[in-house]
Amino acid sequence: MKVLITDGVDPQCAQILKQNGFEVTEIPKISKEELKEIIGNFDKLIVRSATKVTAEIIELGKKLKLIGRAGAGVDNIDIEAATRNGIIVMNTPGGNTISAAEHTCGMMLAAARQIPQATAELKNGKWDKKKFMGVELDGKTLSIIGLGKIGREVAFRMQAFGMKTIAYDPMIPDEYAAHLNIALLPLHENFKQADFITIHSSLNESTRNLIANDTFALMKQGVIIVNCARGGIINEADLAEAIASGKVGAAALDVFETEPVQQDNPLLKLERVVATPHIAASTNEAQVKVAVQIAEQIVEWKQKGKLEGAVNASAVELAQTPGVRSYLALAEKLGATLAQLTAIQANKIVVTTSGEFLQKFSEVITAAALKGFLDIRQTKDTNYINVFTMAKETGITLEQKFEKENPDYTNLIRIELENGATKRMIGGTVFGDKELRIVMIDRFIVEFKPEGTIIIYNNIDQPGVIAQVTQLLLLHNLNVASIALSRDEEKKLAITAIVVDGGVTTTLLDEISTVNGVSDSTLLSL
């Protein structure tokens, strides 16, 4: 319940959290050193873009469960490290969209007409009309790189200025763009056709240095470039050269590779550059919206387990769907059973879900199965967020499969563990709403509840085995709750699962192993 808020998030955030029982500490300007020192005391951290939530900070935040971003971009948060540590990262999509879009449009006009430069000169006592010849936007082609929430709002506004809008975004379907009067074109076509280019993608591996010498070469002479998305998408050294050579007519920048921007940054020395200190989201409206949004999302999470705005927790979100909980419990039990049934190391785990209902839950069911397995096999804390990274770190290759139907069960989950030629398999289903059942182990169809203490062994299918085993249980004063037996098709080998009330000693297990025909006796604790 302890929240640290940095970076000057609007006070309404703290107010809502306090009203809902959170203990809030606000440090608007925090140094890296101070953050390292105190992060261990908090289970939630809320930031804007200034605080760098690095892997080092995350490792030191031993109690951290959630990192909230009062804004859109999460590139200042090491999401991989957060995911590995089971920490939810949440942003506030849409909260600052309009402000960022409006600032972008303003920057485009400012660059086209050199408004800030003209203002500065006029305030310096000069009246030079010739120096500030601009260009019109009307009839010009605007390329929007990244047609997400802000990109679309910019398109809509600049269309009102008479601009033709084209765009590039690998995630947006053509029909959707067409419906907005935007032509989706390949990236190089955008660069070739544009008179103005505005960047609105996130900073990721595909967009880092997207605008650099090789792409400037494709552009029209005198193109005007606006970046209110993220520094790093444009290579600043290359941009400075392109402006100096006249290839780029002007640039309007709100974001920089290093922030706060260094005063010796060559871009700041260029007459044709309009620059603002990362203020596209700095309006009263946007700041209240993102502050309230992040606080409400955290309260909803605490009170109802809802995960609005989480960027790394699709599995956790799906787990909230009614009806799926029993299958998640089953998948965890199956994983835990498999981990105890065999001591072999898992090189590969294949999780197969069958039945239409389970189709969209394959991923979260796989997460649950892995959690059940890894909780037995290793000591680190696992959850549905970090379990995939943990499996990878443990050297497990993972495969997820889906079958529309199974001839015997409406819904079925099977987990196979592979190590070279050795394979073990376990399968289970849910009867009614919440009756969990293991229904198959390797090639045997055997049905029992995955609950409590269970002795499992293989035996040669011959008379007297079960009588001798139950005699041993009697000698150890153990009551049998249920017995499930099954044999293979050749009627040679059988499997027996005995659910007992009470603890089983290793002596008893050893004694069962000595019964003629019994092999692989194992104790399951579920």
Ligand X SMILES: O=C(O)C(=O)COP(=O)(O)O
Ligand Y SMILES: NC(=O)C1=CN([C@@H]2O[C@H](COP(=O)(O)OP(=O)(O)OC[C@H]3O[C@@H](n4cnc5c(N)ncnc54)[C@H](O)[C@@H]3O)[C@@H](O)[C@H]2O)C=CC1
Report which residue type is found at 460. I
Residue 139 CB partners (closer than 8 Å, separation 6+) = 162, 163, 164
Question: Under the criterion CB under 6 A, does residue 77 sit at the interface with ligand Y?
Answer: no
Closest approach of ligand X to the CB of residue 162, in Å: 29
Report which residue type is found at 438. I
- In whole angstroms, give the CA distance from residue 397 to residue 408: 28
Q: Is residue 219 packed enough to be buried (19+ CB in 10 Å), middle (13-18) or exposed (0-12)? A: buried
Question: Under the criterion CB under 6 A, does residue 3 sit at the interface with ligand Y?
Answer: no
Answer for which of 13, 61, 64, 73 binds ligand X (CB under 6 A) is: 73
Q: β-strand 183-184 against 196-199: which pairing, if any?
A: unpaired
- In whole angstroms, give the CA distance from residue 234 to residue 100: 18
Q: Which stretch binds ligand Y (CB under 6 A): 7-15, 94-102, 445-453, 493-501?
A: 94-102
Question: Under the criterion CB under 6 A, does residue 276 sit at the interface with ligand Y?
Answer: no
Question: Under the criterion CB under 6 A, does residue 283 sit at the interface with ligand X?
Answer: no
**Around 491, how many Cα atoms within 13 Å sit in the side-chain half-sphere?**
2
Question: Under the criterion CB under 6 A, does residue 200 sit at the interface with ligand Y?
Answer: yes
Answer for which of 96, 235, 312, 337 binds ligand X (CB under 6 A) is: 96
Specify which residues 480 forms β-bridges with: 500
- In whole angstroms, give the CA distance from residue 425 to residue 507: 27
Answer for which of 166, 281, 425, 478 binds ligand X (CB under 6 A) is: 281
Question: Under the criterion CB under 6 A, does residue 72 sit at the interface with ligand X?
Answer: yes
Closest approach of ligand Y to the CB of residue 32, in Å: 21
Question: Under the criterion CB under 6 A, does residue 149 sit at the interface with ligand Y?
Answer: yes
| C-alpha 387, offset from chain centre | 12
- In whole angstroms, give the CA distance from residue 366 to residue 400: 7
Question: Under the criterion CB under 6 A, does residue 71 sit at the interface with ligand X?
Answer: yes
Closest approach of ligand Y to the CB of residue 326, in Å: 34
Per DSSP, helices labelled H in 61-113 are: 79-84, 97-113
Question: Under the criterion CB under 6 A, does residue 215 sit at the interface with ligand Y?
Answer: no
- In whole angstroms, give the CA distance from residue 25 to residue 42: 9
The entry of ligand Y, ligand X, none that residue 204 binds, CB within 5 to 8 Å by partner kind? ligand Y
Q: Which stretch binds ligand Y (CB under 6 A): 95-103, 177-185, 239-247, 516-524?
A: 95-103
Question: Under the criterion CB under 6 A, does residue 277 sit at the interface with ligand Y?
Answer: no
Question: Under the criterion CB under 6 A, does residue 147 sit at the interface with ligand Y?
Answer: yes
Per DSSP, helices labelled H in 305-361 are: 314-318, 325-341
Residue 33 CB partners (closer than 8 Å, separation 6+) = none
- In whole angstroms, give the CA distance from residue 351 to residue 397: 11
Question: Under the criterion CB under 6 A, does residue 267 sit at the interface with ligand Y?
Answer: no
Beginning with the edge strand found earlier in the chain, give each strand of the sheet holding 2-6 in spatial order.
23-27, 2-6, 44-47, 66-69, 88-90
**Around 43, how many Cα atoms within 13 Å sit in the side-chain half-sphere?**
8
| C-alpha 393, offset from chain centre | 17
Question: Under the criterion CB under 6 A, does residue 289 sit at the interface with ligand Y?
Answer: no
- In whole angstroms, give the CA distance from residue 97 to residue 92: 10
Q: Judged by CB, which is closer to ligand Y: 111, or 426?
A: 111
Question: Under the criterion CB under 6 A, does residue 168 sit at the interface with ligand Y?
Answer: yes
Q: Judged by CB, which is closer to ligand Y: 14, or 197?
A: 197
Q: Judged by CB, which is closer to ligand X: 294, or 365?
A: 294
Question: Under the criterion CB under 6 A, does residue 293 sit at the interface with ligand X?
Answer: no
> Phi and psi of 364, rounded to 5°?
-70, -30
Two structure tokens written together for 229? 């998305």
Site string for ligand Y, 219-258 (x = CB under 6 A): ---------xxx-----------------------xx---
Question: Under the criterion CB under 6 A, does residue 278 sit at the interface with ligand Y?
Answer: yes
Question: Under the criterion CB under 6 A, does residue 177 sit at the interface with ligand Y?
Answer: no
Q: Which stretch binds ligand X (CB under 6 A): 218-226, 274-282, 292-300, 404-412?
A: 274-282
Q: What DSSP element (H or E) covers 520?
A: strand 518-525
Closest approach of ligand Y to the CB of residue 167, in Å: 8
Cα end-to-end span (Å), the chain: 32
- Residue numbers annotated as active site: 230, 259, 278
- In whole angstroms, give the CA distance from residue 309 to residue 298: 10
Residue nearest to ligand X (CB): 71
Q: Which stretch binds ligand X (CB under 6 A): 204-212, 278-286, 387-395, 469-477?
A: 278-286
Site string for ligand X, 330-369 (x = CB under 6 A): ----------------------------------------
Q: Judged by CB, which is closer to ligand Y: 202, or 326?
A: 202
Question: Under the criterion CB under 6 A, does residue 284 sit at the interface with ligand Y?
Answer: no
Interacting residue ranges for ligand X, rule: CB under 6 A: 48-49, 71-73, 96, 278, 281-282
Interacting residue ranges for ligand Y, rule: CB under 6 A: 72-73, 96-97, 100, 145-151, 168-172, 200-204, 206-207, 228-230, 254-255, 278, 280-281
